[in-house]
Amino acid sequence: MLSTVCTGAIQGIEGFPVCVEVDIAPGMPTLAVVGLPDAEVRESKERVVAAIRNSGFDFPLKRITVNLSPAELRKSGTQFDLPIALGILAASDQLSQNARQKLTGLLVLGELALDGTLRPCAGVLPMLISCKKLGKTAVIPPQNVLEGQVSSAPFITPHTLKDLADYLEGKIEQDAVQISYIPQTEERLEPEIDFAEVKGQALAKRALEIAAAGGHNVLMIGLPGTGKSMLAKRFPGILPPLTQEESLEITKIYSICNLMGKSRLLTNRPFRDPHHTISNVALIGGGSTPRPGEVSLAHNGVLFLDEFAEFSRAALEVLREPLENGQVTISRAKETVTYPARFTLVAAMNPCPCGNLGNPLKPCTCSPMQINRYKSRISGPLLDRIDLTVNLNPVKYSDWNKTSEGETSAQIRERVLKARKIQRARFAGTNTTANAFMNAKQIKEFCPLPPGADTVLEAAMRKFGLSARSLDKILKTARTIADLEGKKDIEVKHLVEVMQYRPLDRKGVAD
Ligand SMILES: [Zn+2]
């Protein structure tokens, strides 16, 4: 006998509907799963057999074939346990005609424990959103209830396989399982950390304000203990709030990675700070069952790379694609997966391997060659993506001892929001979202040089050996500074300010 149960799977960060077809025929007792299941799905067999037996049903000792269609798309995840188990119960006549009829109206997702209890599975949110058009009621594990609410699809959350069978048979009332249609949005949480707590470092704070206002990437160079990571952690707090659409995008990525935690919808910009020993796969995404990496978990937020020069050359190399395109493409034998990865890069590094170069109290023990090698680790193409570089000096006692608090994150964010508003109007109807992403034509249109600028730029080119690409970066950054001031045109003083965050060229770190 044949039965069909509807479920879902994930490709990239989108879900797609999958039909689980179960055929039971006389013959040697076997259970075969076909239709491009990966290792995770094939393991489902053992759980399904145990869960069916331990729920008081019979596991048919016959030839069972499970087909997952469409067959050409790879299936991964543990959500197939429950639909396969139900398909077997239906195909072996352990569900009544009425129950089988009711089953056709359901979209079933869930991992099974050996005793038949439902366990949470990854990617519930994108699967529910993509399958909403089917007009079915979803069955999801109770632990995934928050994702069900965000999806605004109708759903029920049975606790066990037996519960669900009883619901289908009409043995338990409908209100024994929850149905909710309410999408929930949480308020943006005010971060607990604030720029006002960081003493001194006015130049670095200003660089981060410009970065937030124009979407620029930043590199902070400074002695250990100068507050690089303190500053970086406070950076998301001055970024504009997420739009509804951005929230949903990030929430889908976290759903796929099983990192939802207790949140319903992620409403704060993500901040990711992977360690420099991270593998390429963990950073960029991929693996035998592809998963988004840190660059995608930082989507619409901040990727903080501390000890930037300590990251492997290969890891820094793979950062180029997301920095350039705002996404990563992972190619495998049978499929190509694309994950969004548009983040602001905040990088930090010591001035030299021992960390003491420029420290008035401790001597630097590095040889010039070591220092050069250290600096050259960050390749030119990567530096081309970093618009602002700022040197942090040790905090002066007079700054540290200041009783008056500095500006709060909220005050800085207000200016950032104004500058962003100007950019939204400027780039209306284009794909550009901020000054940092202007193309050559837009730079020409929106960044005309003010009178007297030639002298400043020529001097800078001579002094720092800047490339033409560096000049583009200077113009984009100056545009943002002008926007922060609400000025229509870039002025010479804006260009002069940018020179303080002078871009590094291939020669390495400026002294
Ligand atoms: Zn040193």
Read off the CATH number of the domain in which 364 is found. Answer: 3.40.50.300
Distance 323 CA to ligand 1 centre (A): 30
Domain assignment of residue 181, yes or no:
no
Ligand 1 center–CA 235 separation, angstroms = 28
368 C-alpha to ligand 1 centroid (Å):
9
Instruction: Kindly report the pTM of this predicted structure.
Output: 0.87
Q: Are residues 44 and 167 in the same domain?
A: yes
Domain boundary among 112, 144, 176: 176
Distance of CA 222 from the midpoint of ligand 1 (Å): 12
How far away, in angstroms, is 364 Cα from ligand 1 center?
4
- 510 assigned to some structural domain: no
Q: Is 188 among the domain residues? A: no
State in Å: Cα 357 to ligand 1 middle.
5
Q: What share of the chain is helix, strand, coil (3-state, %, to 5)?
A: 40, 15, 40
Which of these three, 148, 176, 204, is where a domain ends? 176
Looking at the fold, whether 85 and 53 belong to one and the same domain comes out as yes
Q: Which residues of 1-35 are buried (b: 16+ CB within 10 A; e: fewer)?
A: eebbbbbbbbbbbebbbbbbbbbbeeeeeebebeb
> What is the separation of C-alpha 153 from the centre of its chain, rounded to a whole number of angstroms?
24
We report the CATH number of the domain holding residue 111 as 3.30.230.10
Q: Are residues 38 and 122 in the same domain?
A: yes
Beta bridge partners of 5: 20
pLDDT of residue 459: 80
Residue 508 lies in a domain: no
- CA of 490 from ligand 1 middle (Å) equals 39
CA–centroid distance, 143 to ligand 1, in Å, is 51
Give 355 Cα–ligand 1 centroid separation in angstroms: 5
Rounded to whole angstroms, the Cα distance separating 226 from 333 reads 47
What is the rounded CA–CA span in Å between residue 328 and residue 340?
6
Judge if 257 and 365 occupy the same domain: yes
- Mean pLDDT, 10 residues at a time, over the chain (511 residues)? 94 94 95 92 94 96 96 92 97 95 95 96 93 90 87 88 94 58 50 84 94 96 89 94 87 90 81 94 88 95 94 90 92 84 95 87 90 82 87 74 76 96 94 91 93 84 75 92 95 91 50 37
- What's the number of CA atoms in the CB half-sphere (13 Å) around residue 247? 20
Domain total of the chain: 2
Do 19 and 120 have their domain in common? yes
> 419 and 303, same structural domain?
yes
CA distance 429 to 337: 28
Structural domain containing residue 264: 195-500
Q: Ligand 1: distance of its center to the CA of 224 in Å?
A: 11
**Is 201 found in the same domain as 144?**
no
Instruction: For residue 185, tell me if it sits in a domain.
Output: no
Same domain, 155 and 219: no
Report the alpha-carbon distance of residue 75 to residue 73 in Å, rounded: 6
Distance (Å) from CA 356 to ligand 1 centroid: 5
Q: Do both 265 and 340 map to the same domain?
A: yes
H or E element, residue 433:
none
| Domain end marker among 149, 176, 203 | 176
Backbone angles phi, psi at 351, to 5 degrees: -70, -20
Kindly give the distance from the C-alpha atom of residue 463 to the centroid of ligand 1, in angstroms, as a whole number. Answer: 25
Tell me how far CA of residue 283 lies from CA of 227, 341, 352, in angstroms. Answer: 24, 11, 24
Both 132 and 228 in one domain: the answer is no
Ligand 1 mean position, distance from CA 390 (Å): 18
**How far is 60 from 26, CA to CA, in rounded Å?**
10
- Ligand 1 centroid to residue 170 C-alpha, Å: 74
- Residue 184 inside a domain? The answer is no
Does residue 391 fall inside a structural domain?
Answer: yes
Own/partner long-range contacts of 171-179 (Cβ < 8 Å, ≥24 apart): 178/145, 179/137, 179/154, 179/155
For residue 444, is it within any domain? yes
Distance 277 CA to ligand 1 centre (A): 21
262 and 162 share one domain: no
Q: What residues have a C-beta under 5 A from ligand 1, the ion? A: 352, 354, 356-357, 364, 366
Distance between CA atoms of residues 472 and 149, nearest Å: 46
The single-letter DSSP state of residue 366 is -
Please check whether residues 169 and 203 belong to one and the same domain.
Answer: no
Q: How far is ligand 1, taken at its centre, from the CA of residue 347, in Å? A: 19
Question: Cα(352) to centroid of ligand 1, in Å?
Answer: 5
Contact (Cβ atoms closer than 8 angstroms) between residue 208 and residue 238: yes
How close is the Cα of 385 to the center of ligand 1, in Å? 26
